[in-house]
Structure 1
Amino acid sequence: MTKIYANLLGTWVCLSDDENCVIGDYGKNPNSWWKEGAEVWYPANRNTDSENSIYYMPYVNIYYKGIKYRINPIFIQIVTE
């Protein structure tokens, strides 16, 4: 069994336990998102004038318990039992 965890506002939560949770721009449930390649937004061509801007950092959109989050993928952990 695979569980997807994310650190949201300083608290680790199990995204797999929320049946309404979706990840990514295509709104997949956490386990489908993981099985289908775990898509992360990352700019192919960074603007050199703004490359140090937060707008050019990789991110994942997560909708969890009625709130939409945009987080860096380093705050996601996959646990397989």
Structure 2
Amino acid sequence: MKNIYACLVGEWVCLNDDPECRFIDSGLTPYEWWESGAEVWSPKNLPEEHSMYYLNYVNICYKGKDYRINPIFIQVVTE
């Protein structure tokens, strides 16, 4: 089993623990997201060089709240 962890507002949580958790743009559960290629938003050309708007990110809905985080804050643990 693969568990998907994310650092949300400074706390590491297991996304799999929330049955309603989804990667917003795809509607996939954390496990489905990982198994289908773990897509992240990543621009090919940066319209602005020094803007946080154009950093890689994923949108996650976890326990009723929506988060936009950089993928470096995601860890996959195989148990």
Alpha-carbon distance, 1:51 to partner: 1.5
Q: Which sections of structure 2, spanning at least 5 residues, go unmatched?
A: none
Structure 1 segments of 4+ aligned residues over 6 angstroms from their partners: none
The number of residues matched between the two structures is 79
TM-score, with length taken from structure 2? 0.96
Q: Which residue of 1 aligns with 2:51?
A: 53
- % identical aligned pairs: 61
Within the alignment, does 1:77 sit opposite 2:75 as a pair? yes
Q: Which sections of structure 1, spanning at least 5 residues, go unmatched?
A: none
| Distance (Å, rounded) in 1 between the aligned partners of 2:24 and 2:66 | 11
SS at match of 1:32: helix
Which of 50, 60, 63 is the aligned partner of 1:62?
60
Alignment CA distance shift 1:24-1:38 (3 Å): farther
